Structure 1
Amino acid sequence: MVVASGVRIGWADLPGRVRDDIERIVGGGPVVAAETQAGGFSPGTADRVRTAGGRRAFVKAVTPALNADSAAMARNELRISSAMPPAAPVPRVLGGFDDGEWVVLVLEDVAGAHPRTPWVEGEIRGAAAALRDLATVLTPSPIPDLPAAAERLAPAFGRWRDLAGAPPGDLDPWAARRLDALRETADRGIAALSAGRTVVHADLRADNILIRPDGRFVFVDWPWGCTGPDWLDSVLLAINVIVHGGDPGPLLDGIDPAITVGIVSGAAAYFHHMARLPPPPGLPTVRAFQRFQGESLLPWLRAALDG
């Protein structure tokens, strides 16, 4: 398994004025402990903090000077997370700010662990049930002015056309022979994205999920939130299960298999295309991670298309 993460700054790297503002939001005096969290793609902070008074929070902070895209994503996440209804199984927002230089989110510190990878059957079933509940709470969308999933994902999922010009040997031989079929299936998946009015996460992986000690699932990291079909997050999480070698069946129950194959095909095209680009600032390992995911989806697609 290829693991990707940003080259993070930590709590101590934040300007004093930013730390002071965060401490006011958390309450309980100065921060006396900060534990940087591994994983994720942002070069900004991702710290579990504790103040002198015992209060805890999860702090994310980034500046465009580190990575402009990461700052834009943080702004999106601050807006989307702050507008989530209380019943949504997402971290509660304690506060945040965007001062034009630093974008900061201060979130509930959720006690829990990520699902195990390779995925295990019980946690796949638990995730499937939790996603059905999440979709119920977020339909119709309670958050105004979100982009549509079709608008957000269609360009990414249409990349088989770009890969048709890949140099010989640069693409898996089976995929090179089946490019027309892969493109057609991805187009069907793209067409299905236009339905639905549910707020979807649109970037679900095991590292964007926490399981509380009581077994409840919490879905974290919402910068890509958009509106789309209520099944979309289940199919996207199924992709993560496939990549890790698990059985995505419980996540795909009741979803049109042709749509599932189309979404997986589109995701594979996206990963293969992105893996061929230079790494963005502060994210040196992301291209290898994307290549690994794209290649891991091809055996599943081959079985689906060729039987």
Structure 2
Amino acid sequence: MTGRIGWAGLPAQVRAGIEGILGDAVVAAASQPGGFSPGSADRVRLASGRTAFVKAVSADVNTTSAALHRREAGIAAALPDGLPVPAFLGSYDDGTWVALAFTDVDGRHPAEPWVDAELQHVLDTLDRMGRVSLQGSPALPRCEDSLRGAFQGWEKLRKRPLDGLDPWASDSLDTLAGLAQRGLAAVAGTSLVHGDLRTDNILLTGDGAVLVDWPWACTGAPWVDALGVLVNVTSLDPAANPELPLVHHPVFAGVPAGDVDGVLAGYAGYFMDMSRRPEPPGIPALRAFQRKQAEALIAWLRQRLPHTDALTGT
């Protein structure tokens, strides 16, 4: 999704710091595509034959990306055992460059557009992850706190209208803003939530799905990540039917339809509001991606709301 620098493009002191973490010299590196970080993302082979995954970014290119790497380092070091995540090997931070090292995962990203079997595979993994106890683990932010500002997107659009907004959404601003507030309450819970699941943050292996890139981790409802995956499904393929997993997969069992509508509305307003902002440094494709996400969510909500009194929960 964005251009990447490779291992060879990292400053010598950063490469040396990473090799110190890995305890061996890197003899080969293969840059990995996908994602929005303007930094590196490499599968590396060491002199001993071992492999690892390394990513690094400079605050001089994008301060937010460096801050996210620092946040992820703290989260990755604290995640409990038994989760579908790569093991964290350590981090390098010289104040400008931040690098993280993980065990290498022998897997591949889901197909784009999604295929049913792989979607089922990922939803099964998320259903199991939602049952992992976080008792005794370091505190993570609560999803409702992390998303409080993001889910005010429709209120911002109401105060500062956007040219070209879908007419249905423009006529439904009050309803969508109210739904988003319901969505904020709906995401509350005690399960581990990744918070940013798309194909590029998921690896499929012979043993199940592995989830990578954890800077947005929080505690919330056990179905939040699964709904995020369905958002990715419909944004990649407008002809997809994300309603089928909502009805049939156990990860969504017992979730009120109005709660689903509320979270969808919250994310739609966030993506639409963000899409009109200037491109962040080093990430030229982000705003177009956010606009595409917003438009897919609005189309999905238009289908759902005539059949759901989402504000009353029926």
TM above 0.5, one fold? yes
Which amino acid in 1 is paired with 2:13? R
- Does residue 99 of structure 1 match 2:91? no
Q: Deviations over 1:258-297 (max 9, x none)?
A: 1111101111101100110000000011001110111111
- The one-character-per-residue Cα deviations of 1:46-101 (angstroms, maximum 9, x if unpaired) are 11111222111110111211111001100111111111222111011122232322
- The answer to whether structure 1 residue 225 and structure 2 residue 217 are counterparts is yes
Retained in 1: the 8 A contact 2:186–2:259? yes
Q: Is 2:17 aligned against 1:21?
A: yes
Cα distance in structure 2, aligned partners of 1:253 and 1:124: 17
Match for 1:23: what amino acid? E
Residues 74 and 104, structure 1, Cα contact 8 Å, conserved in 2: yes
Rounded Cα–Cα distance in structure 1 between residues aligned with 2:253 and 2:120: 10
Matched, 1:243 2:235: yes
CA contact (8 A) 1:61 1:103 kept: yes
After superposition, what is the alpha-carbon deviation per residue over 1:155-175, rounded to whole angstroms, capped at 9, x for unaligned? Answer: 111210111245574211111
1:151 aligns with 2:145: yes
* Counterpart-to-counterpart distance in 2, 1:286 and 1:160: 20
Q: Secondary structure at the match of 1:154?
A: coil
Counterpart of 1:89?
84
Q: Is residue 216 from structure 1 mapped to residue 211 from structure 2 by the alignment?
A: no
Structure 2 matches for 1:44-63, cutoff 5 A? 44-63=39-58
Distance, in Å, in 2 between the alignment partners of 1:141 and 1:242 is 34
What does the per-residue CA deviation read over 1:134-160, in whole Å, with 9 as the maximum and x for residues that have no partner?
A: 1222x3355423211111112111210
Q: Which structure carries more relative contact order (alpha carbon 8 Å, separation 6+)?
A: 1
Which residues in structure 2 correspond to 1:29-40 (within 5 Å)?
A: 30-40=25-35
The CA distance in 1 between the partners of 2:66 and 2:137, in whole Å, is 21
Equivalents in 2 of 1:169, 1:277: separation in Å?
A: 13
> Could you list the runs of 5+ residues in structure 1 that have no partner in the other structure?
none
The 1:100/1:142 distance shift into structure 2, 3 A limit, reads farther
Contact in 1 for aligned 2:190/2:219 (Cα 8 Å): yes
TM-score with structure 2 length normalisation?
0.90
Q: What residue number does 1:72 align with?
A: 67
CA distance in 2, matches of 1:168, 1:46: 35
Partner residue in 2 for 1:119: 114
Matched residues in 1 for 2:86 and 2:124: separation?
A: 18
What amino acid does structure 2 have at the position aligned with 1:292? K
User: Partners of 2:201 and 2:293 in 1: how far apart?
Assistant: 16
Q: 8, 18, 29: which one pairs with 2:4?
A: 8
Compute the RMSD of aligned alpha carbons: 1.7
Displacement of 1:22 in angstroms is: 1.3
Give the C-alpha shift of residue 224 in structure 1.
0.5
Return the alpha-carbon distance in structure 2 between the equivalents of residues 257 and 242 of structure 1.
Answer: 18
* In structure 2, distance between residues paired with 1:189 and 1:159: 12
Between 97-106 and 283-292, the greater mean CA deviation after superposition: 97-106
SS at 1:34's partner residue? strand
Q: Secondary structure in 2 aligned to 1:116?
A: coil
Distance 2:161 2:118 in 1: 40
Query: Shift in Å at residue 34 of structure 1?
Result: 1.1
Distance in 2 separating the partners of 1:141 and 1:271: 33
Equivalent residue of 1:224, what SS?
coil
Give aligned pairs, total.
299
Q: 2:311 corresponds to which residue?
A: none
Letter paired with 1:189: G
CA distance in 2, matches of 1:205, 1:46: 17
Q: CA deviation at 1:215?
A: 4.4
Q: Percent identity?
A: 47
- Which stretches in structure 2 are left out of the alignment for 5+ residues? 308-314
In 2, the alpha carbon distance for the partners of 1:222 and 1:73 equals 9
